[in-house]
């Protein structure tokens, strides 16, 4: 019963992750998430009062598993497809890296979604109102600026600033804090990179593969149903034992 219960909990968490991916399939810059599974503690059957075997020459005692659990979640950092808008404020990243934004409390964060707009001062901001870091001139009017693939900003043919792209070492170095915002984990170092290109007039779409998500959902649902059936069967067997017990 315990094994079936833990399996149902694990599969429910898997279904929650899949549902979140599907809900964000149209979210700019969203990266799909997957979850892993791991065994819970195994316990030896070689205990006083449990005669498991008469083989005194065995080198490994039999063990009993206690179930399964979800382990770490992993983010798929593959680039999503480009969505053309024609807006000068929309910037798409292709390759490994993140835009740096300055949050309203003054702290730094990183985003992949490049569907920026301009605030009242003419600065580029994301959907949360966080300001895009721009080295040099950071205020513009009427979208009268051009952004090169390396992030160089020009107005009327004159270079006036640059948008840096940042990256970090390790796939698990950033933590998602919601709203498509990432912050470095303790000890993670962010650095300027040239491994990504910026395309103006586009934004990066989600990299969710809907066919994969639907397939994973069917598998998780069937695994949940199987675990539920195992729990029900174990409960019925326990009930039969109780009825057969001498009164």
- The tens digit of pLDDT for each residue in 141-195 reads 877 899 999 999 999 889 999 999 999 987 778 888 888 899 998 888 999 999 8
Q: Is the predicted pLDDT of residue 236 greater than 60, yes or no? A: yes
Q: In this structure, are 104 and 144 located in the same domain?
A: yes
Q: Is the pLDDT of residue 48 over 60?
A: no
Task: Name the residue among 165, 178, 213, 169 with its Cα closest to residue 34.
Answer: 213
Do 131 and 186 fall within a single domain?
yes
Contact 138, 113 (CB under 8 A): no
Q: What is the pTM of this model?
A: 0.77
Q: Judge if 86 and 115 occupy the same domain.
A: yes
181, two tokens: 């915002």
Helix (H) or strand (E) holding 135: strand 135-136
161 with 154: CB under 8 angstroms?
Answer: no
Q: Do 30 and 56 lie in a common domain?
A: yes
Residues sharing a CB contact under 8 Å with residue 66, sequence separation 6 or more, in sequence order = 2, 3, 6, 40, 41, 42, 43
Q: Do 55 and 97 reside in the same domain of the chain?
A: no
Do 122 and 64 lie in one domain? The reply is no
| Domain around 70 | 2-77+208-244
Both 212 and 195 in one domain: the answer is no
- Residue 138 neighbours by CB distance under 10 Å: 17
Residues 100 and 155 in one domain: yes
Q: How many domains does the chain have?
A: 2
| 138 and 72 both lie in a single domain | no
Q: What is the mean pLDDT of residues 47-66?
A: 65
In this structure, the answer to whether residues 105 and 177 fall within a common structural domain is: yes
> In this structure, are 121 and 185 located in the same domain?
yes
CA–CA separation, 2 vs 4, rounded Å?
5
Banded pLDDT at 45 (limits 50, 70, 90): low
Strands (E), 137-227: 146-147, 152-155, 158-162, 165-168, 174-176, 181-184, 190-192, 197-200, 202-204
Q: Give percent of the chain with pLDDT exceeding 70.
A: 89
| 247 confidence band (pLDDT: 50, 70, 90) | low
Whether residue 15 is found in the same domain as residue 126: no
pLDDT in tens, 112-131: 988 999 988 899 999 888 99
Q: Mean pLDDT throughout 29-43?
A: 83
Residue, of 205 and 47, whose pLDDT is higher:
205
């Amino acid at each position: 019963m315990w094994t079936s219960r833990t399996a149902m909990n694990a599969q429910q968490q898997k279904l929650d992750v899949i549902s979140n991916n599907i809900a964000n399939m149209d979210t700019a810059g969203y990266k799909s998430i997957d979850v892993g599974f791991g065994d819970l503690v195994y316990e030896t059957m070689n205990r006083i009062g449990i005669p498991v075997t008469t083989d005194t020459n065995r080198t490994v005692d039999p063990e009993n598993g206690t179930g399964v659990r979800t382990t770490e979640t992993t983010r798929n950092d593959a680039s999503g497809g480009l969505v053309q808008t024609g807006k000068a404020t929309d910037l798409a990243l292709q390759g490994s890296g993140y835009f740096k934004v300055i949050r309203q409390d003054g702290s730094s964060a990183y985003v992949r979604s490049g569907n920026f707009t301009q605030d009242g001062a003419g600065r580029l901001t994301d959907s949360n109102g966080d300001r895009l870091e721009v080295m040099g001139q950071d205020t513009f009017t009427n979208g009268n600026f051009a952004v090169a693939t390396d992030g160089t900003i020009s107005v009327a043919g004159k270079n006036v600033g640059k948008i840096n792209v940042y990256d970090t070492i390790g796939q698990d170095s950033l933590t998602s804090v919601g709203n498509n915002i990432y912050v470095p984990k303790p000890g993670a170092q962010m650095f300027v990179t040239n491994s990504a290109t910026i395309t103006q007039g586009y934004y990066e779409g989600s990299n969710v593969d809907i066919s994969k998500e639907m397939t994973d959902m069917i598998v998780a649902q069937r695994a949940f149903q199987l675990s539920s059936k195992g729990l029900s069967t174990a409960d019925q067997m326990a009930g039969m034992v109780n009825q057969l017990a001498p009164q």
